[in-house]
Structure 1
Amino acid sequence: MTAVAAPDLANCADEAIHLPGSIQPHGVLLAFDRDSQLLAWSANAAAVLGIDPVLGAAAAALGLPPEALAVLDAAAAELDNGEALPNAGEVRIGEQQFDCIVHGYQSRLLLEFERRAVRSDVVASFALKAHGAIDRLKRQGSIDALLNMAVRQVRQLTGFDRVMAYHFRHDDSGDVVAEARDEAIDAYLGRRYPATDIPAQARRLYLINTLRLIADVGYQSVPVLGRAGDAPVDMSHSVLRSVSPIHVEYLQNMGVQASMSVSIVVNGRLWGMLACHHMTPRQVPYSIRMATDVLAQVLASSVQTLEAKAEAVRIERAAELSSRMLAAMAQQDNVVATLDAYAEPLRQTLGADALIVSQLGELTVHGDLDVGLATAIVHALPARDEVLLQYTQRDDWPAPLRAQLGTWVGMLAMSFDAGTQGVMVALRHEQVEQVRWAGRPDKVIAHGPLGPRLTPRGSFNEWRETVRGRAEPWDATALTIAGQLLAKLSRSVAARNAEIDRARTELMAMLGHDLRDPLHTINMAGVLLERGAQSATLGRRIQSSSNRMQRLIGHVLDLSRINGGIGLGIHPVPVALDQVVAELVDDVRAAHPGASFALDMPAPVSALVDADRFVQVLANLLSNARHHGELGKPIRVGLHTADGHAVLTVRNHGAPISAAIADKLFDPFKHTSLYGSRNRRGVGLGLYIARQIVLGHSGRLAYHYEAPQVVFTVHLPLHTPISPTIL
């Protein structure tokens, strides 16, 4: 005995609702081939139309009214690739008025006769109402206003007891966002319908046939007859198509006796729907339904325009932000520091509650996120090929981390430099929702003559559910912005890495050359000492060469520490800066008798700094001033306090630094520093390392020009600096 699988939602999805084999009884259907020969007909054709349907009979031989044959011939002439757009006309058969509608699909012509009880002049008056409704709709400036106007206008046109507009969410559930109704019936505004209320094949029909009417939910369907064994008639575009028994039961459970739905299709997707309900049977004439369909198309076009404008504004603002950020990055050697400076506008642009930026072990956090959790999140990011990774619920995260997340369940990770573990992570809190479902969103298994099947909900009373552990997913615009930002950032970082690699190669070659000179000097001095030369002179040469080698190697080691994320190891202690400055200037003056120095320190200045690193900064600035300053002019060194900072200035006479060079002044591996005419021993790392030291003290190092002097200024906080977080 074969086991029968339990029914599930796939059973609903398998229902061939476009091939029902029957129609609603308020009309007649005739199906013809492309040569207008009869293929199939509804069982009520003879009784309603007074014809004798014969398989294979020509349409002209059936005794149909001339108006019906005219619309059929027009559709046959327009049949292209097996399809023809719907066309309609009015016909009278005896005392009964019909709307005669024809369309072509799959090389078949479907001619439908729909009874109409409303006079033609009354129907014509609705055209003016529809025109006014569309005009009012076009004037709305927001999507909310559009939908509220639409439900009112559709209710006035059609007379339904209730007209709802609902918008589909990312998970295909739908929220009722606007409603016009008779005051005697319940309000559904604000309630949500589960995605399972519209199976996949129903969504397909809502896309290709945007309007569907059920004139009487309690109807008895009329079978479609034809040659046995022929393919069933596809009624995807039929106006009389019979509907799923499950949907009929669904409407009956709601107490609805007539229903009409009009799709809102935006950019080829089912964006929303106008759903109309009546508590008694109601048939709306075809032309009025078509006016409603046109109104829905205008509504969809307006929604698309408003969404496109909003998206364009968001993308334009994001592009402006990324341009400013990349311009700043071109002048900043630290990617994390640049992103850190723009973190707040980045967070707002991405719609994030918190932002993490991390590279080479350096990490910064913006928002009310614990640094320890941020560190754990970065470490838990999986190794992956894709550069954009999105989590929308707690279950998406690696299992070991879920218990630590708290409310942080939404994530968008952007990996901009895999080689340095460069990543920017946007986070969102969970969105705790009190969902007002239109009835409990469950399907019930019922047993009948055909065995077990899923039945629709039996109650549509409001049912509330608290939803936790999920965050609002990033919409398509936010993902577009993130993708564009990531692409620009990755290109900028890659270009910078390539430039650094090239400059590093040059530096290594230069170091190999420059280290040979002092080594040669030391070797020669050793040989001369062996031969009895004067040791004092040779000792000075050995010391000078050793100092030079130590300085070169020290720069390279500092660069490696910075690039490796280790940091410079800054340890601030109370230091009398004025004494350190005076001692260092005296040392430099003794070592370079030809240089002239002037000190301007009106009062003692003490601060919490790393004394050795401070000396390294000042020594570099004094060296630059000696090498690039005007010969014979004094180098002026100043020290004072201002706004809680110690302010150190080093000035030398000289021409202003050009803008092109000034933009890269604090970058490593500057071409302008390699083999300079006044400083052939420079390797282009001094100012870069000096600035990193100052940044490590939460200070700043800057250049400006005060004619006729070049001025470098260091600001250091007098109190304990806050160092960046190091993983």
Structure 2
Amino acid sequence: MQAIDPVTLDNCADEPIHIPGSIQPHGALLAFDMAGLLLAWSDNAAQLLGLTLALGTPLAQLPLRAEVQAAATDCVDSMEDGEAPAIALEVAIGPLRFDCIVHAYQGRLIVEFELRDVPSDAVAAFALKAHAAIDRLKRQKSIDALLQLATEQVRAITGFDRVMAYRFHQDDSGDVTAEARREDLEPYLGRRYPASDIPAQARRLYIINTLRLIADTGYTPSPLRGRAGDAPLDLSHSVLRSVSPIHIEYLQNMGVGASMSVSIVVAGRLWGLLACHHMLPLQVPYSIRMAADVMAQVLASLVQSIEARERARLVEASAEVRTRVMETLLHHDEPARALLQHAPALCQSLQAEALVVTQYGKVMVHGEVDAELAARMVASLPEGGADLVERSAIGDWPLEMQAALAPWAGLLALRFDPATGGWLLALRREQIHTIRWAGRPEKVVRTGPLGPRLTPRGSFDEWREMVRGRAVSWDAAEKLAASQLLGEMHRASMAKHVETDRARAQLLAMLGHDVRGPLHSINMAATVLQHGGAASTMSTRIQASSTRMERLISQVLDMSRINGGLGLGLERSEVDLVLLLQDLLDEVRTAHADLRIDASMPATLSALVDGDRMMQVVSNLVSNARHHGMHGEPIEVILAEQDGQVVLEVRNVAPPIPAELLPMLYSPLKHASVGNVRNRGGLGLGLHIAQEIVQQHGGQIAYRYDKLQVVFAVTLPRAG
């Protein structure tokens, strides 16, 4: 057979462990080509099996038991694309008892004879235990419980001193999450083993051949003999395949005399591993190993089911959140504020600890994030490219802001509206934690007579490493939820843009119509004055028409500033709200002599506000009450201080606002306002602008129906 290159530092990652050119000596191997001619055999086969072997000997001419010949024939008959699954049977050759395993791979028929000392009735008893263990596994409800029970049951049926369950991370390192062991052995539970402990080629073999036994780590390999120059015999599915010398040294450094690994493969990926160690050599019969392998397959199926249920639960919860977010976005004038209304649910859906929302240059925060840092986070996002940006460590952020990020490290940013700079940022804190490594994870390089060689670590004493600067990575389910949310928000943004364009056209049409009225009045008044009409009457009409035009234009300009993200430019100062309200209400009473306004206010109440803008809020609320209130009933204005806050209520007698109108109560251009015969001069912008002014003061405005009265209540912080 072809010689295998020695393992060095340069080729360790490419070590051809599937074609080792030798087998473990507790059994013998025969390999045949597609014509049934002997192609290769292990050096110990002649003695162990009592055969005379020569290259090209037909299988049918070898003095093997009839059942072995029959199994080989069945295997050849069932081959597809040069492969056939294993067939196992028990055979006796002289005084020796063997497990005979026949399989085909890459056009080669491989017959292995593995020595067995355990009698058949004992093997059958262990198999019954395995069936009972599988039934218990099916009753477990959590992955942790599954793994712990699996380690206990595999140890019970195989007799190993220690059985560990590894669960692999995305970086292929693995934690020992369950363990069953002999009491005098040091526990490995909770320790992490680096990804380098299982190189890529070994990981591949763990997937395609899910069980591997090393009966004695001190074995001397039995080399394969056969036709020189032929392709090396692929032993990927062999039960006797020899093992990498580096792995043998690794096990010996741990004090292990025998080892068995059983793969937990979920959705084609090496999800975990059951690693079995014995301090002395241990030969486990093939059928018992297969029972352990079946347990691992059941375990993998149960893990997949549990994870699928959890994913389904998360998908369902995320769908509910998306539905609520969409409903709010479609009926809210400010998508950024609408998203903040659902911040707790969005945090839970995305498994985030804080949110930052920005649009039109305005940055809003949910959670313990400094506002200045939030603005810098937004500024660090790309202007073009993908609409979903992921960062899992401080090192993923721009260098100039890394020092200021703590405690935040993880980011999942969704650009929901590129036209307006709309981003939703989900944040995760840095996870400062200690990894309990099973010894230092690095391999050791030592120089010997043949130069540098790779040596696995010699100590497996616990070695702790403090890990900083990383957040929990966003997993596939969370990123799927984020992308689905992003798609829904994109659709909502498009619908909103269409609605805005329609509203803009409607606004221009209404503005042209409504401004034409006062202009006509002014023109008529000027004509009358030219012909000697009553100057005082015409002056009053001109003033009223001009005021109306100014109000219309002012509202349009305010809405343009709001929609453009410019804000209203508040200029706060210490203002006595009582004096401000008294002046405003006097003006309203003078303009509307038939209107009754009852005011309840303290002697004085100061607050840090923009006085002109607060006048605008009260004016809009009183105007709203006058237009929509019951004719002849008074309007009540109440000003008070409660718990260090200013509370202003404007009340009017009227039927309650219909429930279907409440979601769009603060929207501009409401049909209920535009079509009101008592509000022909209004554009339906009053409540929209009032809400924006109040919110920019850090306050809230809310509607309620109380004792036959429509009530709008404004709450403001006194200190701004």
Tell me if both proteins adopt one fold, taking TM over 0.5 as the criterion: yes
Moved more, 514-523 or 421-430: 514-523
1:646–1:718: 8 Å Cα contact kept in structure 2?
no
User: How far apart are 1:448 and its partner, in Å?
Assistant: 5.3
Partner of 2:128: 128
Partner of 2:714: 715
Moved more, 199-208 or 406-415: 406-415
2:68–2:100: 8 Å Cα contact kept in structure 1?
yes
Structure 1 SS opposite 2:290: helix
1:259–1:719 CA distance, 2 compared to 1 (3 A)? same
1:675–1:16 CA distance, 2 compared to 1 (3 A)? same
Q: Structure 1 residue 278 and structure 2 residue 278: aligned?
A: yes
Moved more, 256-265 or 457-466: 457-466
- 1:53 and 1:539 map into 2 onto residues whose CA distance is 125
Structure 1 SS opposite 2:426: strand
After TM superposition, list the pairs within 5 Å mapping 1:40-51 onto structure 2: 40-51=40-51
After TM superposition, list the pairs within 5 Å mapping 1:530-549 onto structure 2: 535-549=535-549
Moved more, 466-475 or 523-532: 523-532
1:203–1:270: 8 Å Cα contact kept in structure 2?
yes
Partner of 1:620: 620
2:578–2:603: 8 Å Cα contact kept in structure 1?
yes
Q: Structure 1 residue 565 and structure 2 residue 565: aligned?
A: yes
2:9–2:452: 8 Å Cα contact kept in structure 1?
no
Partner of 2:338: 338
- The count of aligned residue pairs is 711
User: How far apart are 1:672 and its partner, in Å?
Assistant: 4.2
User: How far apart are 1:240 and its partner, in Å?
Assistant: 1.1
Partner of 1:649: 650
- 1:107 and 1:210 map into 2 onto residues whose CA distance is 21
1:205–1:339 CA distance, 2 compared to 1 (3 A)? same
User: How far apart are 1:503 and its partner, in Å?
Assistant: 1.3
Structure 1 SS opposite 2:404: coil
1:598–1:634: 8 Å Cα contact kept in structure 2?
no
- 2:40 and 2:351 map into 1 onto residues whose CA distance is 57
1:671–1:106 CA distance, 2 compared to 1 (3 A)? farther
Letter in 1 for 2:635: R
User: How far apart are 1:102 and its partner, in Å?
Assistant: 1.8
1:257–1:602 CA distance, 2 compared to 1 (3 A)? closer
2:625–2:650: 8 Å Cα contact kept in structure 1?
no
User: How far apart are 1:451 and its partner, in Å?
Assistant: 4.8
User: How far apart are 1:152 and its partner, in Å?
Assistant: 1.6
Structure 2 SS opposite 1:403: helix
Q: Give deviations 1:323-368, integer Å, cap 9, x for gaps.
A: 4444444444333333333334433443334332332233233443
1:605–1:639: 8 Å Cα contact kept in structure 2?
no
Partner of 1:724: none
User: How far apart are 1:718 and its partner, in Å?
Assistant: 6.7
Letter in 1 for 2:440: R
- 1:602 and 1:457 map into 2 onto residues whose CA distance is 81
Partner of 2:488: 488
User: How far apart are 1:127 and its partner, in Å?
Assistant: 0.9
- 1:601 and 1:185 map into 2 onto residues whose CA distance is 81
After TM superposition, list the pairs within 5 Å mapping 1:497-508 onto structure 2: 497-508=497-508
Identical amino acids, percent of aligned pairs: 55
Partner of 1:199: 199
Q: Give deviations 1:270-303, integer Å, cap 9, x for gaps.
A: 1111111122221111000000111111222222
Partner of 2:21: 21
Give the alignment's TM-score, normalised by structure 2: 0.91
Partner of 1:4: none
Partner of 1:347: 347
- 1:327 and 1:694 map into 2 onto residues whose CA distance is 24
RMSD: 2.9
Partner of 1:725: none
2:360–2:421: 8 Å Cα contact kept in structure 1?
yes
Letter in 1 for 2:99: D
Partner of 1:160: 160
Partner of 2:598: 599
2:625–2:635: 8 Å Cα contact kept in structure 1?
no
- 1:253 and 1:407 map into 2 onto residues whose CA distance is 40
Moved more, 99-108 or 512-521: 512-521
Q: Structure 1 residue 436 and structure 2 residue 397: aligned?
A: no
Structure 2 SS opposite 1:490: helix
Structure 1 SS opposite 2:567: coil
- 2:31 and 2:671 map into 1 onto residues whose CA distance is 81
Q: Structure 1 residue 696 and structure 2 residue 692: aligned?
A: no
Moved more, 373-382 or 566-575: 566-575
1:9–1:427 CA distance, 2 compared to 1 (3 A)? farther
1:605–1:646: 8 Å Cα contact kept in structure 2?
no
User: How far apart are 1:543 and its partner, in Å?
Assistant: 2.7
User: How far apart are 1:569 and its partner, in Å?
Assistant: 2.8
1:191–1:462: 8 Å Cα contact kept in structure 2?
yes
1:166–1:272: 8 Å Cα contact kept in structure 2?
yes
User: How far apart are 1:175 and its partner, in Å?
Assistant: 1.4
Gapped regions of structure 1 (runs ≥ 5): 1-6, 722-727
User: How far apart are 1:385 and its partner, in Å?
Assistant: 2.4
Structure 2 SS opposite 1:647: strand
1:394–1:409: 8 Å Cα contact kept in structure 2?
yes
1:434–1:467: 8 Å Cα contact kept in structure 2?
yes
User: How far apart are 1:675 and its partner, in Å?
Assistant: 5.2
2:330–2:495: 8 Å Cα contact kept in structure 1?
no
Letter in 2 for 1:101: I
Moved more, 110-119 or 381-390: 381-390
Moved more, 252-261 or 535-544: 535-544
User: How far apart are 1:47 and its partner, in Å?
Assistant: 2.4
User: How far apart are 1:555 and its partner, in Å?
Assistant: 1.2
User: How far apart are 1:430 and its partner, in Å?
Assistant: 2.5
- 2:625 and 2:365 map into 1 onto residues whose CA distance is 38
Q: Structure 1 residue 83 and structure 2 residue 83: aligned?
A: yes
Structure 1 SS opposite 2:11: helix
1:159–1:679 CA distance, 2 compared to 1 (3 A)? same
Partner of 1:683: 683
- 2:489 and 2:10 map into 1 onto residues whose CA distance is 44
Structure 1 SS opposite 2:229: coil
Structure 2 SS opposite 1:333: coil
- 1:103 and 1:384 map into 2 onto residues whose CA distance is 56
Partner of 2:262: 262
User: How far apart are 1:196 and its partner, in Å?
Assistant: 0.5
1:158–1:640 CA distance, 2 compared to 1 (3 A)? same
- 1:10 and 1:634 map into 2 onto residues whose CA distance is 93
1:506–1:449 CA distance, 2 compared to 1 (3 A)? farther
- 2:418 and 2:538 map into 1 onto residues whose CA distance is 51
- 1:409 and 1:108 map into 2 onto residues whose CA distance is 53
2:263–2:272: 8 Å Cα contact kept in structure 1?
yes
User: How far apart are 1:261 and its partner, in Å?
Assistant: 0.6
Structure 2 SS opposite 1:235: coil
User: How far apart are 1:162 and its partner, in Å?
Assistant: 1.6
Partner of 2:253: 253
- 1:575 and 1:8 map into 2 onto residues whose CA distance is 81
User: How far apart are 1:516 and its partner, in Å?
Assistant: 4.4
User: How far apart are 1:54 and its partner, in Å?
Assistant: 4.2
1:701–1:712: 8 Å Cα contact kept in structure 2?
no
Q: Give deviations 1:234-275, integer Å, cap 9, x for gaps.
A: 211111111112111211222222111111112221111111
Partner of 2:4: none
1:718–1:183 CA distance, 2 compared to 1 (3 A)? closer
1:582–1:183 CA distance, 2 compared to 1 (3 A)? closer
- 1:708 and 1:470 map into 2 onto residues whose CA distance is 57
Letter in 2 for 1:636: I
Give the alignment's TM-score, normalised by structure 1: 0.90
Partner of 1:362: 362
1:515–1:38 CA distance, 2 compared to 1 (3 A)? farther
Partner of 1:228: 228
1:405–1:657 CA distance, 2 compared to 1 (3 A)? closer
1:504–1:669: 8 Å Cα contact kept in structure 2?
no
Partner of 1:62: 62
